[in-house]
Amino acid sequence: MELRQKLILASGSPRRVDLLKQAGIDPARLMPMDLDETPSKSEHPRSLARRLSADKAKAAFQQVRKDLTWGNSYILAADTVVAVGRRILPKAELMQEASSALHLLSGRSHWVFTGVCLIGPDGKLRQKIVETKVRFKRLSGYDIECYLASGEWRGKAGAYAIQGIAGSFVQKIVGSYTNVVGLPLFETLQMLSGEGYDVHTGWTEG
């Protein structure tokens, strides 16, 4: 791969890596950014996704910009926020958090916002926010109990992963499916292509 085509993913998410590979793009390096993701007071979910994705991209850029090996890379960052109205659901780490989130999502619609931020080799920052509306079926107590036992909720925004068991909870989705997984592929590849990254390079390899 040429130097100009090196892509750094400022995330450690296996889901985002898998989505990029699905599109024929294999990141040259993963750089998870450990930032405080606590929403500011009264911060809108959309604004939070925008702020965190930009902060992650900028943090990665600052780390590599003077590095001869990686300083000319494209840096891609993303952050996904799940919300009911203006209420932001955190990434569930405790079972009680997950249970509360699932009870809240049961039988109603919610929004998934993903901020995608790209910094090119020239240091220019480009950003897009993608939103998807998702409606869950009404979950029984047994549905929730069994899903909690699966452990799939751990570390997930909104306490669920649509590509797993929770996909069976979804009655309707309006917008990008890959956005709900964690990285909207259409918009991401448009951004990369618009900044000169050849998204087709990996299509003929392997």
Q: Which residues are catalytic?
A: 79
Strands, E, within 85-189: which ranges?
87-89, 109-119, 125-136, 170-174
Q: Which residues contact 8 (CB under 8 A, 6 or more apart)?
A: 27, 28, 29, 30, 31, 60, 64, 70, 73, 74, 75, 76
Cβ–Cβ < 8 Å for 125, 54: yes
Residue type, 129: I
